C-alpha cells in the first residue's frame, strides 16, 4: 500500500447541480401546457438571475435569509392580531412593569446607591453586574432595559397558532435587536466606560478608535486578527511530532510518534469536523489531547481535512465518508493489521463517524473496537438555537450563496455562530476593545478559532438537508451506497461527551444517543462550552463532570432526571475517558513508528492540508 495511488474523486461538473429539464407528454385537453426548449432556457435564465440576486443579498445579511425571518414575523403578527385576549394581557403586563419601574425610579432618586431591584438579570447575563450599574441613573437604565426585554419575551412566545419554529425565530431575532440596543453598548449609558474615559482622560476612546480601524482594515484585506502572528501551525500550535502517512484528494492522515516504549494494542483514530482545523485537539503542548493520549500509551492517528476550493464544489457527504473516515480506517489497519480501532469523532466529525460506523456494521466489517463522540449529534430535532437558521427558506438561501463560489466560507458561517452568543462574542468584545480601548491578548484556542475553513457546496447542502433539516439519520432514511444506514446497527461500545453550555450541540440533544443506540453507552457531561469544555486538560479546578453507563438492561432516564441523579466529579474528563479506553483495550505491544514499515511517510506533521488558507 506504500505505492497506492491517491484516491481519485468522482467529481461531477457544476451543471450536474442545475435543475434537470423536464420532459412532459403532449398536452391532453384540460391538461397543463407542456414545456418546450424555449421555456426551459427561460427557466434556466430565471434561476440564474434569482441565484445571483440571493447571492448579493447574502453578502449584506451575513448569510441569513430575510424571507425566512419575515415569514416567521408574519406568522406571529397575524396570530397576535387575531388574539385580543392576549393583546389585553400584554397591555396589562406593560402597565405593571411601568408602575414597577416608576416605583423603582422614585426609590433610586431617594436612595441613589442601591434600592432593591425590581428585576434580576438572567444568570448568564453579565452586562450589569458591576458596582457602577448600582448607582443612579444607570441602575434605572438597566432595570428599564431588563423589564423591556422580559416584556418582549412574553410578547413573542405563547401566542396560540404560531408555528413552533416561527415562534423561536421571532423570539431570537427580537432578543438580538434588543441586545444591540442595550445601554451597556453605548458610551454615555455605560457607567464603567464613563469611569474609564474620565480616568484615562479620553485616551481609551482614542485607543478604541485605532483598534476599530485596524480590525476593519484587516477584515477588508482578509487578514487574520491582531495577535495571530504569534501563533504558527507547526511552530507554536500542532507541534506534536508525527508523520503524514497517507494522503488523498480530501484528507491527510497523521500518525504521531510514540512517547512510550510500550503502547496499547488498539490504536486511536480521531475524526475532527471538516468545519474546523484538526489541531484544536493538538493546540499548545499543555492543551493537547493528542499528547495526553500518547503519554498514556496510545498510538494516535488524526485526519486533517483539505480546505476545499471552487473546484471541489461537487464533493458530497458520501465522499467525506468514503475518502475521509473509511479511507483513514483502511490506512490505519494497513499500518496495524489484525487490530480493531478506537475511533473518536468531534462535532460534525462525530456525526460522520456515526454514519460510517452504521455502514460498516451493516456490511459486517468488524473494524471498530469502540466509538467516542465529542459534542456530536445524531438527532437534530432539538439542536438548540442553531436550528433557527436551518429551514427550507434558509437552506435554499445558503445554497444560492454557495452557488457562485462553489463553497461556503467560514467567515460567512461565523455570523450565525456569533449570534448564538452575541452578548459574549459580539457586544461585550466591542465594548471592551472599542469603548474601553483594551485588547485581550490572543490565546491558542482563539487563534485556532480564527483559522477558518470552507465547506464545499454539495456536501454542505447534503448535510443540511439530509441530517439537519430532514433528520434522515435518526429516523432511518439516510442511505449510504444505496442502502439504509441505521443507528441501531451500531454494536460497539460508545462513549459520548457533551458540555453543559454548548450552543452548537446542546447536551440534551446529544443525550438522545441513550435512546437511539442499541448498545452500551457511557454518557459524560462536563462543564464548559462546545470547544473549551472538550479542550479541558487536567489541572483546571473549575471543571467537573457527571458520567454514567447505560446497558440494554437499564431503564431509560430522561436528561433532567439523569442530571439530578448523577453526582459531579471534580476535574477534567480526560482521565475518565482514558480509563474507559483502557477497559476496552486488549493489552500492550512494542511502540510503533509512523508508517510501521507498511506505508512510507510523506512529510512531517502537521502536513500540508492544515496550512491551506
Distances (CA, A) of 497 to 46, 345, 534: 47, 10, 8
Alpha-carbon span 211 to 440, nearest angstrom: 12
At 147, is the secondary structure helix, strand, or coil?
helix
**What are the percentages of helix, strand and coil residues in the chain, rounded to 5?**
50, 15, 40
Alpha-carbon span 485 to 326, nearest angstrom: 14
Those residues whose C-beta lies under 8 Å from the C-beta of residue 590, and which sit 6 or more positions away, are 261, 262, 263
Task: Map grid coordinates 499548545 to a residue.
Answer: 284
Alpha-carbon span 510 to 517, nearest angstrom: 12
How many C-beta atoms lie closer than 10 Å to residue 51's C-beta? Answer: 18
Q: Are 492 and 357 in contact (CB under 8 A)?
A: yes
499-518 CB burial, b ≥16 within 10 A, e <16: bbebbbbbbbbbbbbbebbe
Alpha-carbon span 295 to 283, nearest angstrom: 16
Q: Which class for 180: exposed (0-12), middle (13-18), buried (19 or more C-beta within 10 A)?
A: exposed
Written as one string, the DSSP assignment of 504-521 is SS-HHHHTTHHHH-SS-E
* Nearest CA among 472, 461, 317 for reference residue 398: 461
Q: Are 272 and 301 in contact (CB under 8 A)?
A: no
* Residue 347 is a catalytic residue: yes
H-run or E-run covering 301: strand 300-305
Spot the catalytic one: 114, 117, 347, 603: 347
Alpha-carbon span 372 to 375, nearest angstrom: 10
Alpha-carbon span 161 to 263, nearest angstrom: 61
State the greatest distance between any 2 C-alpha atoms of the chain, in Å, as a whole number.
85
Please, which residues bridge with residue 303 across strands? 253
The C-alpha cell at 27 is 398536452
The residues that are catalytic are: 347
Amino acid at each position: 500500500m506504500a505505492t497506492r495511488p491517491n484516491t481519485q474523486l468522482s467529481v461531477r461538473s457544476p451543471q450536474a447541480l442545475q435543475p434537470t429539464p423536464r420532459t412532459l407528454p403532449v398536452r391532453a385537453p384540460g391538461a397543463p401546457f407542456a414545456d418546450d426548449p424555449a421555456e426551459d432556457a427561460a427557466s434556466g435564465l430565471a434561476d440564474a438571475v434569482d441565484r445571483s440576486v440571493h447571492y448579493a443579498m447574502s453578502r449584506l445579511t451575513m448569510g441569513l435569509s430575510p424571507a425566512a425571518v419575515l415569514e416567521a414575523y408574519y406568522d406571529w403578527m397575524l396570530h397576535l392580531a387575531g388574539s385580543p385576549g392576549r393583546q389585553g394581557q400584554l397591555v396589562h403586563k406593560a402597565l405593571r412593569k411601568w408602575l414597577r419601574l416608576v416605583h423603582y425610579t422614585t426609590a433610586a432618586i431617594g436612595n441613589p446607591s442601591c434600592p432593591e431591584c425590581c428585576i434580576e438579570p438572567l444568570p448568564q447575563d453579565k452586562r450589569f453586574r458591576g458596582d457602577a450599574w448600582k448607582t443612579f441613573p444607570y441602575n434605572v437604565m438597566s432595570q428599564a432595559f431588563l423589564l423591556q426585554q422580559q416584556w418582549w419575551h412574553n410578547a413573542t412566545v405563547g401566542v396560540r397558532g404560531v408555528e413552533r419554529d416561527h415562534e423561536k425565530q421571532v423570539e431570537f431575532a427580537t432578543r438580538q435587536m434588543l441586545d444591540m440596543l442595550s445601554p451597556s453598548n453605548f458610551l454615555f449609558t455605560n457607567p464603567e466606560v464613563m469611569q474609564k474615559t474620565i480616568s484615562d482622560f479620553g485616551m481609551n476612546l482614542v485607543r478604541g478608535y485605532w483598534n476599530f480601524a485596524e480590525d476593519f482594515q484587516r477584515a477588508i484585506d482578509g487578514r487574520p486578527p491582531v495577535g495571530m502572528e504569534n501563533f504558527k501551525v507547526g511552530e507554536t500550535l500542532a507541534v506534536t511530532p508525527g508523520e503524514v502517512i497517507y494522503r488523498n484528494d480530501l484528507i491527510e492522515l497523521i500518525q504521531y510518534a510514540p512517547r512510550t516504549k510500550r503502547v496499547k494494542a488498539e490504536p486511536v483514530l480521531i475524526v475532527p469536523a471538516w468545519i474546523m482545523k484538526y489541531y484544536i485537539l493538538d493546540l499548545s503542548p499543555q492543551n493537547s489531547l493528542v499528547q495526553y493520549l500518547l503519554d498514556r500509551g496510545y498510538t494516535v492517528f488524526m485526519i486533517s481535512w483539505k480546505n476545499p476550493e471552487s473546484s471541489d464544489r461537487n464533493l458530497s457527504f458520501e465522499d467525506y465518508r468514503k475518502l475521509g473516515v473509511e479511507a483513514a480506517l483502511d490506512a490505519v489497519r494497513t499500518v496495524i493489521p489484525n487490530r480493531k480501532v478506537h475511533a473518536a469523532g468531534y462535532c460534525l466529525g462525530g456525526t460522520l463517524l456515526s454514519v460510517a460506523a452504521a455502514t460498516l456494521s451493516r456490511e459486517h466489517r468488524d473494524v471498530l473496537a469502540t466509538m467516542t463522540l465529542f459534542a456530536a449529534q445524531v438527532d437534530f430535532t432539538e439542536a438548540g438555537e442553531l436550528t433557527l437558521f436551518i429551514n427550507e427558506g434558509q437552506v435554499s438561501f445558503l445554497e444560492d450563496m454557495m452557488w457562485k463560489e462553489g463553497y461556503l466560507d467560514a467567515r460567512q458561517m461565523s455570523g450565525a455562530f456569533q449570534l448564538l452568543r452575541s452578548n459574549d462574542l459580539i457586544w461585550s468584545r466591542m465594548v471592551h476593545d472599542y469603548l474601553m480601548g483594551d485588547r485581550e491578548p490572543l490565546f491558542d484556542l482563539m487563534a485556532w478559532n480564527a483559522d477558518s475553513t470552507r465547506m464545499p457546496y454539495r456536501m454542505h447542502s447534503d448535510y443540511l438537508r439530509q441530517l439537519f433539516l430532514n433528520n434522515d439519520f435518526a429516523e432511518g432514511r439516510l442511505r449510504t451506497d444505496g442502502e439504509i444506514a441505521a443507528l441501531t446497527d451500531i454494536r460497539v461500545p460508545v462513549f459520548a461527551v457533551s458540555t453543559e453550555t454548548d450552543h452548537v450541540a446542546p447536551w440534551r440533544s446529544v443525550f438522545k444517543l441513550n435512546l437511539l443506540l442499541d448498545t452500551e453507552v457511557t454518557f459524560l457531561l462536563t462543564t464548559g462550552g462546545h470547544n473549551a469544555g472538550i479542550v479541558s486538560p487536567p489541572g483546571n479546578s473549575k471543571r467537573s463532570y457527571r458520567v454514567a453507563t447505560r446497558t440494554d438492561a437499564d431503564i431509560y432516564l430522561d436528561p433532567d432526571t439523569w442530571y439530578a441523579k448523577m453526582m459531579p466529579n471534580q476535574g477534567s474528563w480526560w482521565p475518565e475517558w482514558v480509563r474507559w479506553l483502557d477497559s476496552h483495550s486488549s493489552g500492550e505491544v512494542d511502540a510503533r513508528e509512523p508508517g510501521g514499515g507498511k506505508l512510507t511517510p510523506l512529510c512531517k506533521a502537521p502536513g500540508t492540508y492544515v496550512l491551506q488558507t
